[in-house]
C-alpha cells in the first residue's frame, strides 16, 4: 500500500509551468445561456480560439471552456463541423492543450471544432463524475452533469457543430483519459470515437496490489484538495459498485461499436525526455499498467480497440502531442464515414434511472447499488438483467398508435400482451427482473 500512495503522491507533485500568451484579442462572439449554463463572459483569445466563463448549479462556481474553431469558420456561415471534446489532466485547465499541447498547430488544417473545458476546481480536479459527497468545500462537483448533460447541448446550440454521434469524439490525457473513457463508456450513444493518452482508465477492475494502486489515485487527489478522501465515489467497500459503475475498464463492453484508441509509454526515458523527468516516468508506469488492464479486458470480451504502446516515454506533453498526430487523422476518417447507430445495442449501468440509445430504464431495487444489464436490445426485443422490478421504455421504433404483440419471459413465467405504441412510437413495459422480451411488430 505504501507503494500505491507513493505513486499517487508523485502524480500530485507534478505541476506545469506558466506559459506566455500569444493572444490577439478581437470582438468576442455572442454566446447564449441555456441548458443549465449561464454565460458570464466571453473573450476572443485569438483568431480561432474563444474562451467562455460559465456558471451552473451543478458546480456552484464559475468555470471556463475554450473552443478552438477551424480556419475559415466565419467565412463559411452555413457549414457545420464535427466536434472533438479534448480533456486535460490533473492540475491542468481549459488552457493546457493550447499552452503546452500545440493543439492549434495540430488542427490548423482540419475542419474540426475542438472543445476544451476546465476539469476541476482544486489542485487535483473533479474526476469527470458526479461526486457522491456534494457538501465539500469545493462545492457540489457534479462534473458529469455539467460536461455531458449541459455542456454538449450548449456547444451544439452556440457553435455550428454537426450535433450527432457520428460527428462527435472525445479524448483526454492522464486523468483526462479517465474522463474521455468514462464519458464514452457511460454515454456511448454520444460519441463515435474515444481516445485515452496515458489514461487513468482503471479505478476498480481486477484485484490485488494493482487495484489498490489504481484506487489510491482518486483518493490521493481528494486529499491534495483537502477534502475527505472518498468524496468522489464513496468509501470502500460499501460503495464498491459505484466505483465500478464509473470505471471504464469494468464498463468496457459499452464501447462495442465505437472507434477506441489507447496510447501509453512504459515510463522509461524516451526520445523526448531529459534525465530529470523521473517522476513523470513513475506516473507513466501507473498509466501503462491501467491502459493494459483495460485493453486486456477488451480483448477478453471481444471489444475491438487499438492499443499503441510506444515503449520508452514518460508522462509528458511531447508524447501526447505525438499521440494526437496519430489520433486526429483516425477520427477524421471515422467522421467521414458518417456511421449510423447500431440496430441492436447492449449497455450496463449502476444508476437506478438511465437513458441510452433511446432506451429509458427506471428500476426499483432490492439493493441500493447494483448493475442492470440491457442486452441485444432492438426493435424485435431485448433482455434486462438485475434485481427487483423495472420500467422500460423503448425507442420510437413503432408506428404511433399501432398495436404490438409482446411476449415477456420472467422468472418461472411467460406472459403475452398487446401494447399500443404512444404518440411518439414508443412502448412502455413493467418487468420483474431478470426478464427477456420478444416483440412482434
The pLDDT score that the predictor gives to residue 194 is: 98
Contact of 5 with 216, CB cutoff 8 Å: yes
DSSP alpha helix (H) spans, 142-188: 143-144, 151-158, 175-186
Mean pLDDT of 387-414: 95
CA distances from 2 to 5, 6, 223 (A): 5, 6, 15
What is the rounded distance in angstroms from the CA atom of residue 299 to the CA atom of residue 252?
10
The pLDDT score that the predictor gives to residue 279 is: 63
The pLDDT score that the predictor gives to residue 414 is: 95
More confident residue, 39 or 214: 39
CA distances from 416 to 362, 377, 379, 383, 413 (A): 22, 19, 17, 15, 10
User: Mind listing the pLDDT tens digit for each residue in 143-162?
Assistant: 999 999 999 999 999 999 99
What is the rounded distance in angstroms from the CA atom of residue 375 to the CA atom of residue 347?
7
What is the rounded distance in angstroms from the CA atom of residue 275 to the CA atom of residue 127?
30
Range from 12-16, 49-53, 196-200, 261-265 carrying the lowest mean pLDDT: 12-16
pTM, entire model: 0.92
Range from 26-30, 51-55, 109-113, 342-346 carrying the lowest mean pLDDT: 26-30
User: Mind listing the pLDDT tens digit for each residue in 410-426?
Assistant: 988 999 999 999 999 99
The pLDDT score that the predictor gives to residue 18 is: 32
Q: Using the predicted structure, report yes or no on whether residue 229 has a pLDDT greater than 50.
A: yes
pLDDT tier for residue 104 given thresholds of 50, 70 and 90? very high
The pLDDT score that the predictor gives to residue 400 is: 97
Using a pLDDT cut of 70, give the percent of the chain over it: 92
Q: Using the predicted structure, report yes or no on whether residue 11 has a pLDDT greater than 80.
A: no
The pLDDT score that the predictor gives to residue 276 is: 56
Q: What share of the chain is helix, strand, coil (3-state, %, to 5)?
A: 30, 25, 45
Mean pLDDT of 44-56: 97
Q: Using the predicted structure, report yes or no on whether residue 358 has a pLDDT greater than 80.
A: yes
The pLDDT score that the predictor gives to residue 217 is: 83
Q: State the chain's mean pLDDT as an integer.
A: 91
The pLDDT score that the predictor gives to residue 277 is: 54
Mean pLDDT of 344-373: 93
Q: Using the predicted structure, report yes or no on whether residue 353 has a pLDDT greater than 80.
A: yes
- Match 485569438 to its residue by C-alpha cell: 46
Q: Using the predicted structure, report yes or no on whether residue 22 has a pLDDT greater than 60.
A: no
Q: Using the predicted structure, report yes or no on whether residue 265 has a pLDDT greater than 50.
A: yes
Q: Using the predicted structure, report yes or no on whether residue 9 has a pLDDT greater than 50.
A: no
Task: Name, in order, each residue with C-beta under 8 angstroms of 256's C-beta and a sequence gap of 6 or more.
Answer: 303, 304, 346
- Match 404518440 to its residue by C-alpha cell: 423
Mean pLDDT of 4-27: 36
Mean pLDDT of 355-376: 93
Q: Using the predicted structure, report yes or no on whether residue 17 has a pLDDT greater than 70.
A: no
How far apart, in Å, do the first and last CA atoms of the chain sit? 57
pLDDT tier for residue 434 given thresholds of 50, 70 and 90? very high
* 136 DSSP 8-state letter: B
Amino acid at each position: 500500500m505504501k507503494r500505491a500512495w507513493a505513486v499517487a503522491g508523485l502524480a500530485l507533485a507534478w505541476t506545469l509551468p506558466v506559459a506566455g500568451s500569444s493572444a490577439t484579442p478581437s470582438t468576442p462572439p455572442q454566446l447564449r445561456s441555456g441548458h443549465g449554463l449561464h454565460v458570464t463572459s466571453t473573450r476572443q483569445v485569438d483568431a480561432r480560439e474563444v474562451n467562455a466563463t460559465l456558471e451552473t448549479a451543478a458546480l456552484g462556481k464559475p468555470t471556463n471552456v475554450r473552443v478552438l474553431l477551424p480556419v475559415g469558420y466565419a467565412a463559411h456561415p452555413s457549414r457545420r463541423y464535427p466536434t472533438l471534446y479534448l480533456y486535460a489532466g490533473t492540475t491542468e485547465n481549459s488552457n493546457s492543450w493550447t499552452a503546452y499541447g500545440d493543439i492549434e498547430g495540430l488542427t490548423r488544417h482540419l475542419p474540426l471544432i475542438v472543445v476544451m473545458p476546465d476539469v476541476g476546481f482544486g489542485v487535483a480536479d473533479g474526476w469527470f463524475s458526479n461526486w457522491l459527497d456534494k457538501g465539500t468545500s469545493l462545492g457540489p462537483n457534479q462534473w458529469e452533469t455539467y460536461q455531458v448533460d449541459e455542456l454538449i447541448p450548449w456547444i451544439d446550440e452556440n457553435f455550428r457543430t454537426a450535433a450527432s454521434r457520428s460527428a462527435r469524439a472525445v479524448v483526454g490525457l492522464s486523468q483526462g483519459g479517465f474522463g474521455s473513457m468514462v464519458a464514452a463508456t457511460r454515454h456511448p450513444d454520444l460519441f463515435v470515437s474515444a481516445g485515452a493518452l496515458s489514461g487513468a482508465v482503471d479505478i476498480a477492475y481486477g484485484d490485488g496490489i494493482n487495484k489498490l494502486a489504481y484506487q489510491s489515485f482518486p483518493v490521493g487527489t481528494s486529499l491534495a484538495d483537502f477534502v475527505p478522501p472518498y468524496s468522489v465515489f464513496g468509501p470502500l467497500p460499501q460503495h464498491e459498485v459505484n466505483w465500478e459503475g464509473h470505471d471504464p475498464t469494468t464498463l468496457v463492453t459499452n464501447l462495442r461499436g465505437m472507434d477506441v484508441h489507447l496510447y501509453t509509454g512504459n515510463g522509461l526515458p524516451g526520445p523526448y525526455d531529459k534525465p530529470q523527468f523521473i517522476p513523470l516516468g513513475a506516473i507513466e508506469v501507473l498509466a501503462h499498467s491501467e491502459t493494459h488492464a483495460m485493453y486486456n479486458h477488451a480483448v477478453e470480451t471481444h471489444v475491438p480497440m487499438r492499443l499503441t504502446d510506444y515503449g520508452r516515454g514518460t508522462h509528458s506533453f511531447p508524447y501526447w502531442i505525438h499521440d494526437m498526430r496519430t489520433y486526429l487523422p483516425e477520427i477524421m476518417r471515422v467522421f467521414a464515414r458518417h456511421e449510423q447507430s447500431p440496430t441492436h445495442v447492449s449497455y450496463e449501468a449502476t444508476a437506478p434511472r438511465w437513458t441510452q440509445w433511446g432506451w429509458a430504464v427506471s428500476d426499483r431495487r432490492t439493493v441500493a447499488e447494483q448493475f442492470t444489464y440491457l442486452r441485444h436490445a432492438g426493435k424485435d426485443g431485448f433482455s434486462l438483467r438485475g434485481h427487483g422490478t423495472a420500467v422500460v421504455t423503448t425507442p420510437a421504433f413503432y408506428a404511433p398508435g399501432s398495436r404490438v404483440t409482446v411476449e415477456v419471459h420472467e422468472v418461472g413465467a411467460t406472459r403475452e400482451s398487446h401494447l399500443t405504441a404512444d404518440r411518439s412510437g414508443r412502448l412502455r413495459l413493467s418487468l420483474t427482473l431478470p426478464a427477456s422480451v420478444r416483440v412482434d411488430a
